[in-house]
Homo-oligomer: A and B are copies of this chain.
Amino acid sequence: MAASVSRSVYDVVRTKRDTRQFDGRPLPEGLVRRIAQAGRMAGSAKNGQPVRLVLLRDPENKAKLAACGSYTSILPAAPLVIAIAIAPTGSDIGELFDAGRAAQNMMVVAWAEGVSSCPNTLQQSEEAARLLGFPEGYRVPMALIFGYPQAGAQHGGRPRLPFEEYVFEERYR
């Protein structure tokens, strides 16, 4: 691929910050579809595809889902909520890892088009799954929120560990 393309992908990935302050504008349908598609195209362990997405834009539905988490009162204020469901496949490690892969694909694609996002844990993940109509065995451990950042919004510039405390060569320390 051309150097300019690859470098801009790196810049988008590098500058992405989780934020929760939105201006309320709805996302264009085309972008919503690209975000969902980015999640769908994420790989999964042994192609098990345990992830399902539920797009929520109805205020009442967002409020109901918010009740399944401890720090999720922000959900109704986000123009788009994407609930991440996990089908029962039996692999506990792989499922959450795969969910993280799908989530990051979606958030990076959104960020490339100027849309901020943030994952939110749903502590009552089985209740959330029932609420959204999933059969027994499914759970919804996470909900992503998406929206255009408020003017002057903090992009949550949270400090990262120094590179040399995060990345090691051949061996830890």
Please give the residue numbers on chain A whose beta carbons come within 8 Å of chain B beta carbons, in ascending order: 1, 5-6, 8-10, 12-18, 34, 36-43, 45, 47, 49, 51-58, 61, 85, 93-94, 96-105, 108-109, 112-114, 118-119, 121, 125, 132-134, 138, 141-142, 156, 158-161, 163, 166-173
If A51-B166, A100-B103 are given as contacts, then 17 extra A-B residue pairs at C-beta distance below 8 Å, sorted by A number, are A1-B12, A6-B113, A9-B9, A10-B112, A40-B160, A40-B166, A43-B118, A55-B168, A55-B169, A56-B170, A96-B96, A96-B97, A97-B119, A100-B100, A100-B102, A100-B104, A133-B172
- With A14-B37, A163-B40, A167-B40: A9-B108 Cβ-Cβ less than 8 Å: yes
Closest CB of chain B to A89's CB: distance in Å?
13
- With A5-B8, A9-B109, A167-B36: A41-B16 Cβ-Cβ less than 8 Å: yes
* Contact call A170/B1, Cβ cutoff below 8 A: no
* A18 surroundings in chain B (CB, below 8 A): 43
Closest to A94 in B: B121
* A52 surroundings in chain B (CB, below 8 A): 166-168, 172
CA distance A61 to B172 in the complex (A): 12
